[in-house]
Structure formats: C-alpha cells, structure tokens
Amino acid sequence: MEPYVSSHTEHGITTIEFFHPQGNSLPGKLLNALAQEIHYAGTHDTKVVILKSAGNGAFCGGASFDELMAVKNEKEGFEFFSGFANVINAMRKCTKLIIGRIHGKCVGGGVGLAAAVDYAIAVSESEVKLSELAIGIGPFVVGPAIERKIGTSAFSQLAIDATLWRNADWAKHKGLFAEVHQSTQNMDEAVYRLASSLAHTSPEAMAEMKKIFWRGTENWDTLLKERATISGRLILSDFSKKAIEDFKNRIRR
C-alpha cells in the first residue's frame, strides 16, 4: 500500500488516519498532510477528532529514516523537523478535542503525537521509546508536548535511556495514556464511546476547556521552530549518519 493521510466525518466525528508501510513512519509529505487535515477539522463543522493510524503494527515509528539520511544541509534539516512542529502546533490550535487511538508502539515522534492528543486511549502492547539520542539528535521538537503531558522527570527518563522500551502501564501511570485496554476491540469501543459522548457536548464548552488545557504554550510557534533548527543541525553529524545507516543495515538482515 502507498502512504496516505485520509479523513472522513460522520455524526460529528472526524477520523483522521495515516499510514506508511515502514512502521507508520512519517516523511515530510505525510507530516504536511497530517497538519493540514488537523487544521481543516479544527475550522470546519465537526465536534470531535479521532487521530489513528492504519495496520496492526506500530502506531507511529517516528521520523522517516530515509528522509533523515537524505538531509544534506541545515535548511533541509530544519524543513523536515518543522513538519513535526507543524503537526503538534496544529493539534494544539485545533479548537476540537482530539482523541488518540494508540493501537501499537510509539517511537520518537510517535510519542510526540500521543502526547499532543487531548485524550489517548491505548492497548497493552502500546510501548513507548524516545530513540533520538541513540542516533545523535534528541527529542527537541516533540519534547515540549511530551514534557507538558508527563512532566520533566518522566520525559528525561525517556530521553536519556533512548534504547529502553517503556510499557503501556508505565505510560498510563505517567499520564501519557488516559486508558489502556487489553484488546483492540475494547480500545475501539472506548474510543467511539467517548467520541460519541463528546459529539453531543457543547462545542463552545469544549473549545474553552481546550484553551485551558493548553495554557502556557502560546510561544510554541516560535519554540518548536527553534527546536527544529537544533535537530536539523545535529542530523548532519557523522555520528547521526552512521547510526542511521547501522540501524537500517540491522533491519535489512
């Protein structure tokens, strides 16, 4: 299947779905499409948004390693990492509450997406890992969203130990996931129960609540672009290029 971002609205619920055959990783084209769909949902006639990915594997594998390897200068690096900044800012500014359907593992930027939704519902297989330091960069762009949700201590644990998976119970205990279910069926029932309930709730009240939830993030348009500049510079290092190539070689074997 080809990568895609799709969106449809039914009964006041807009479902935005993304897919990439490489573990639902996110190249620049998908990041841009995702930001556009979230922005559109926030400005048109819908009550609540569900963010999900396709397939039965990872929820999101983070940045596309192919595109990271192709970055040749700081401008290209900035443009790529700005894609994650644009998605998080679109989620932050969206006036509708966003429910995350987290059906599998979250890596790097995928943890950022899970943190930026307003209410994440996961299954027990949904482990999380911030792998950026292992490839010579850091979770700079997604960091503010993760730190906002789980606090500085838990964020630093994820960021420093970049090779350790944390299980779904850890993520729920730290506040990243609101609910963890033992099966996909139970997770989906929870997602659509909440979405249906919110679809019958006052849009104005939910919009005002969302402003309160995101208070203190008004500078993120600038902050996340500054963080994209850092990542865009570090990804050019020999360490990063070799680490990514080594990782891809392990996958090929």
Domain membership flag for residue 154: yes
**pLDDT at residue number 103:** 98
**pLDDT at residue number 253:** 53
**pLDDT at residue number 240:** 94
**pLDDT at residue number 235:** 95
Domain membership flag for residue 227: no
Query: Domain containing 110: what range?
Result: 4-185
Residue 238 class from Cβ within 10 Å (0-12 exposed, 13-18 middle, 19+ buried)? exposed
Domain membership flag for residue 26: yes
Residue 94, Cβ neighbours under 10 Å: how many? 21
Domain membership flag for residue 105: yes
User: Do strands 48-53 and 13-19 pair parallel, antiparallel, or not at all (unpaired)?
Assistant: parallel
43-56 core/surface letters (b: 16 or more CB in 10 A; e: else): eeebbbbbbbbbee
The count of structural domains within the chain is 1
Domain membership flag for residue 209: no
Domain membership flag for residue 241: no
Domain membership flag for residue 205: no
Domain membership flag for residue 214: no
pTM of the model: 0.95
Q: Which two tokens stand for residue 124?
A: 């027990």
Q: In tens digits, what is the pLDDT along the chain, a chain of 253 residues?
A: 899 999 999 999 999 999 999 999 999 999 999 999 999 999 999 999 999 999 999 999 999 999 999 999 999 999 999 999 999 999 999 999 999 999 999 999 999 999 999 999 999 999 999 999 999 999 999 999 999 999 999 999 999 999 999 999 999 999 999 999 999 999 999 999 999 999 999 999 999 999 999 999 999 999 999 999 999 999 999 999 899 888 777 755 5
**pLDDT at residue number 178:** 98
Q: What is the CATH number of the domain that holds 49?
A: 3.90.226.10
